[in-house]
């Protein structure tokens, strides 16, 4: 393998907000390069991307689709990434294996803010990216306003590569100053530069050159000398600056009609960085050494077959080779669900490896068992929404845990836990759609339909006052009877202190061997208090009692303790407690006031807000919020913030439930 082979490879992620036209763009790219002879449509459910039943049902990308094609001797692998915020983990895991990303968006300034987290991720990981403004025929916003909005969410300067003509009629290529007119079913034709746009084109080109001159002293000297740089020099600057993630070129078009797609592809051919540049940026300089790869996505079929989509960073991977001690059972280039068998993959390739059991998304793969190399992984997005799930058939309960484990292997954004207190299995994810898709996969792949409900809130109860209580258990049924007699003092404890049991017995009025039975009886009663919930923050002291030399037993004293608690606890003014978490909401600053109202309307206590560290134009709101108000918070938060607001929540303390709410809960 040599550098010439690597230079003939490009890996490009297609990303952007939901419904911006990413899958349509992939379809168009495959069509104009001849990989497919007939274009599919998302509405007709026949595209290369979004081919899973779940994607087609929900009319949205639910997982990364890899599709390879060839153009002018260059092997492209495109990664069509989900746009919904609920599948962000899929997108981010794939992006770190790309040489460049195409950010697809619509020509609507008010929607651009939704790109903010994506641009932040691309900038943080220094992933070269360009923008393709799609659906130009539907533009209802001034183009300059769209560019201004895009610049506001990008820390890199935007460079207009193409200037639009009319409302989707064509464009002017600024490096060459050549105008083009779109034609249905054919490449765009070169046309004379429209007179009415000459002044605007000149201004746009000058602005492009000025940005490029910030990174090229020679170009700066030419501009100062009023020398018009040749097209080759401009294209070379665009290539170098894009590869170094210094600029963000902007293109326009209409993917549904293939308009602008050929010129976008041409720019990727000429200007997208080669795999060696990406490897250098990742600190992997030697492409000929022992194989190193990283898993970008894991697919598990309904028959149990497993494919790991990997980026080969170094060396050559061959079918049958051992990676991380696991033998590669098949090596494929993907075109959606189509698998093309390969004998080997070289540095710069993105391919699928079969049957890598025990290997998960993000793992670094090496052929050398002694190698400790671990490439940086994408941070797992914290789950924000949960459902309690149970198998519809009791006989499927054991199988359910195994199937959930496989789903988690495919999707790191999922998590699950078993709650002992409520005996619930909770499946955690990024929202209602994310979990709906997951449960549909569960049924389709593993024939495991489940029932779902909102998780139970772990309410507790405590007491406000102290009391003393007496309990006597006496039972005679022939032979030895049962006798136990106790006096208990019951006291409230500070919040968070839990449960304490003590005794002050003197003179042996309750023999030592029976005292553990008293504590057991108290603990058992506190599992379900007067209001119907576990009791916390309470101290119980055994102060007195009596026994019978023949009839007393540990069991009898346990029953006596329960009787004492049953009569005493209602006298202590029981109070219902709810778990409260510390909430940190991240939101664009323009939505902060709405977020404050959202929290207050859910019985939250605002602690304050401040600028979100490292995020220009974002705030972080801190608050206390009852767990009972958390279940649908993420959906309402996203509806207020263009889908990009998010939060972290962790348990903080228990607090009393308001009386009106408590009455309803106790009645239920």
Which element (helix H / strand E) includes 583? strand 574-588
Q: Which residue range(s) make up the domain with 663?
A: 578-667
Is it the case that residue 198 has pLDDT exceeding 80?
yes
For the segment 228-262, what is each residue's pLDDT rounded down to a tens digit? 999 999 999 999 999 999 999 999 999 999 999 99
Instruction: Output the CA angle 332-347-34, nearest 5 degrees.
Output: 50
Widest pairwise Cα distance in the chain: 116
Instruction: Output the CA angle 588-589-595, nearest 5 degrees.
Output: 80
Number of domains, the chain = 5
pLDDT of residue 429: 97
- Mean pLDDT, to the nearest integer, of 627-648? 95
Please provide the average confidence, as pLDDT, over all residues in the chain: 94
pLDDT of residue 593: 97
SS3 406: helix
C-alpha–C-alpha distance, residues 537 and 653, integer Å: 12
Identify whether 534 is part of a domain.
Answer: yes
CATH number of the domain within which 568 lies: 3.30.230.10
And the tokens for 272? 């997208």
pLDDT of residue 441: 95
Identify whether 380 is part of a domain.
Answer: no
Residue 531 is given by DSSP the state: T
C-alpha–C-alpha distance, residues 489 and 540, integer Å: 6
CATH number of the domain within which 615 lies: 3.30.70.240
Identify whether 519 is part of a domain.
Answer: yes
Residue 228 exposure: Cα atoms within 13 Å on the Cβ side = 7
Identify whether 135 is part of a domain.
Answer: yes
SS3 373: coil
Residue 53 sits in the same domain as residue 140: yes
User: What's CA 340's distance to the chain center, in Å?
Assistant: 30
pLDDT of residue 7: 74
Strand partners for 352: 309, 332
Residue 541 sits in the same domain as residue 582: no
Residue 470 sits in the same domain as residue 522: yes
Residue 100 sits in the same domain as residue 180: yes
pLDDT of residue 304: 62
Q: State whether the Cα torsion 562-566-572-576 is positive or negative.
A: positive
pLDDT of residue 371: 73
Residue 105 sits in the same domain as residue 17: yes
CB-based contact 559:482 (threshold 8 Å): yes
Is it the case that residue 515 has pLDDT exceeding 90?
yes
Residue 472 sits in the same domain as residue 602: no
pLDDT of residue 469: 97
CB-based contact 565:523 (threshold 8 Å): no
Identify whether 64 is part of a domain.
Answer: yes
Domain termination site, one of 538, 572, 606: 572
Residue 565 sits in the same domain as residue 582: no
Domain termination site, one of 415, 450, 485: 450
Residue 71 sits in the same domain as residue 205: yes
Q: Which residues are within 8 A (CB) of 137 and not within 5 positions of it... i.e. 6 or more apart? A: 167, 168, 254
For the segment 322-343, what is each residue's pLDDT rounded down to a tens digit? 999 999 999 999 999 999 999 9
CB-based contact 111:17 (threshold 8 Å): yes
And the tokens for 466? 């102290």
Residue 354 sits in the same domain as residue 393: no
For the segment 47-68, what is each residue's pLDDT rounded down to a tens digit? 999 999 999 999 999 999 999 9
CATH number of the domain within which 439 lies: 3.30.70.870
Band the pLDDT of 3: cuts 50, 70, 90.
low
Q: Hey, what long-range contacts does 275-279 have (CB within 8 A, 24 or more apart)? A: 275/6, 275/7, 275/9, 275/10, 275/11, 275/99, 275/347, 275/348, 276/3, 276/6, 276/7, 276/347, 276/348, 277/99, 277/243, 278/11, 278/98, 278/99, 279/313, 279/314, 279/347, 279/348
Q: State whether the Cα torsion 321-323-325-329 is positive or negative.
A: negative
Is it the case that residue 287 has pLDDT exceeding 80?
no
Identify whether 643 is part of a domain.
Answer: yes
C-alpha–C-alpha distance, residues 98 and 490, integer Å: 65
- Mean pLDDT, to the nearest integer, of 286-315? 88
CATH number of the domain within which 308 lies: 2.40.30.10
Residue 438 sits in the same domain as residue 477: no
Residue 650 exposure: Cα atoms within 13 Å on the Cβ side = 1
Residue 308 sits in the same domain as residue 427: no
Strand partners for 502: 541
Band the pLDDT of 1: cuts 50, 70, 90.
very low
pLDDT of residue 5: 63
Identify whether 552 is part of a domain.
Answer: yes
pLDDT of residue 369: 74
Band the pLDDT of 289: cuts 50, 70, 90.
confident
Identify whether 375 is part of a domain.
Answer: no
C-alpha–C-alpha distance, residues 255 and 103, integer Å: 13
User: What's CA 214's distance to the chain center, in Å?
Assistant: 36
Band the pLDDT of 4: cuts 50, 70, 90.
low
Domain termination site, one of 550, 572, 594: 572
For the segment 461-485, what is each residue's pLDDT rounded down to a tens digit? 999 999 999 999 998 776 678 999 9
Residue 340 sits in the same domain as residue 417: no
C-alpha–C-alpha distance, residues 375 and 364, integer Å: 6
């Amino acid at each position: 393998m040599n550098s010439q082979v690597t230079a003939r490879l490009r890996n490009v992620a297609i990303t952007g907000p939901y419904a911006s036209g990413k899958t349509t763009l992939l379809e168009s790219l495959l069509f104009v390069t001849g990989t497919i002879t007939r274009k599919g449509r998302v509405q007709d459910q026949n595209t290369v991307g979004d081919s899973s039943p779940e994607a087609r049902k929900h009319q949205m990308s639910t997982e990364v689709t890899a599709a390879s094609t060839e153009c002018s001797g260059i092997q492209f692998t495109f990664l069509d990434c989900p746009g919904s915020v609920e599948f962000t983990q899929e997108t981010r895991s794939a992006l770190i294996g790309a040489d460049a990303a195409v950010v697809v968006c619509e020509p609507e300034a008010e929607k651009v803010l939704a790109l903010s987290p994506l641009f932040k991720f691309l900038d943080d990981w220094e992933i070269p990216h360009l923008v393709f403004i799609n659906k130009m025929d539907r533009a209802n916003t001034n183009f300059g306003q769209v560019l201004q909005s895009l610049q506001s969410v990008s820390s890199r300067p935007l460079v207009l590569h193409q200037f639009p003509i009319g409302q989707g009629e064509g464009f002017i290529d600024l490096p060459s100053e050549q105008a083009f007119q779109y034609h249905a079913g054919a490449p765009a034709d070169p046309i004379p530069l429209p007179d009415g746009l000459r002044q605007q084109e000149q201004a746009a080109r000058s602005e492009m050159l000025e940005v490029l001159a910030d990174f090229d002293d020679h170009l700066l000297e030419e501009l100062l000398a009023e020398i018009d740089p040749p097209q080759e020099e401009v294209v070379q600057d665009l290539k170098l600056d894009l590869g170094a993630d210094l600029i963000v070129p902007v293109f326009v078009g209409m993917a549904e009609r293939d308009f602008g797609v050929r010129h976008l592809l041409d720019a990727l051919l000429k200007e997208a960085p080669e795999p060696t540049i990406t490897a250098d940026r990742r600190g992997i300089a030697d492409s000929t050494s022992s194989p190193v790869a990283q898993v970008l996505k894991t697919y598990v079929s309904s028959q149990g077959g497993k494919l790991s989509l990997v980026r080969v960073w170094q060396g050559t991977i061959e079918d049958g080779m051992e990676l991380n001690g696991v033998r590669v059972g098949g090596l494929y280039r993907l075109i959606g669900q189509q698998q093309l068998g390969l004998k080997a993959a070289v540095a710069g390739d993105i391919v699928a490896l079969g049957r890598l059991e025990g290997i998960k998304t993000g793992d670094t793969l090496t052929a050398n068992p002694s190698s400790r190399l671990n490439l940086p992984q994408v941070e797992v997005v914290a789950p924000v929404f949960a459902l309690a799930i149970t198998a519809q058939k009791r006989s499927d309960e054991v199988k359910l845990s195994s199937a959930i484990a496989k789903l988690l292997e495919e999707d790191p954004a999922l998590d699950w836990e078993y709650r002992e207190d409520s005996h619930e299995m909770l499946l955690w994810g990024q929202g209602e759609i994310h979990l709906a898709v997951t449960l549909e996969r569960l049924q389709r792949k593993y024939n495991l339909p489940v029932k779902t409900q909102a998780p139970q809130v772990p309410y507790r109860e405590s007491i406000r006052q102290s009391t003393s209580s007496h309990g006597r258990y006496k039972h005679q049924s022939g032979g030895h009877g049962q006798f136990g007699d106790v006096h208990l003092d019951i006291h409230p404890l500070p919040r968070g202190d839990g449960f304490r049991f003590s005794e002050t017995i003197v003179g042996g009025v309750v023999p030592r061997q029976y005292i553990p039975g008293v504590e057991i009886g108290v603990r058992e009663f506190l599992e379900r208090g007067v209001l119907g919930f576990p009791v916390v923050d309470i101290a119980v002291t055994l102060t007195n009692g009596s026994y019978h030399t023949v009839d007393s037993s540990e069991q009898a004293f346990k029953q006596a303790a329960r009787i004492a608690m049953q009569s005493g606890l209602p006298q202590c003014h029981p109070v219902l407690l709810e778990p409260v978490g510390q909430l940190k909401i991240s939101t664009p600053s323009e939505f902060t006031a709405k977020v404050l109202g959202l929290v207050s309307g859910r019985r939250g206590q605002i602690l304050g807000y401040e600028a979100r560290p490292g995020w220009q134009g974002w705030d972080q709101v801190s608050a206390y919020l009852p767990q009972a108000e958390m279940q649908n918070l993420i959906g309402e938060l996203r509806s207020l913030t263009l889908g990009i607001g998010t939060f972290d929540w962790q348990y903080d303390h228990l607090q009393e439930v308001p009386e009106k709410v408590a009455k309803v809960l106790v009645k239920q």
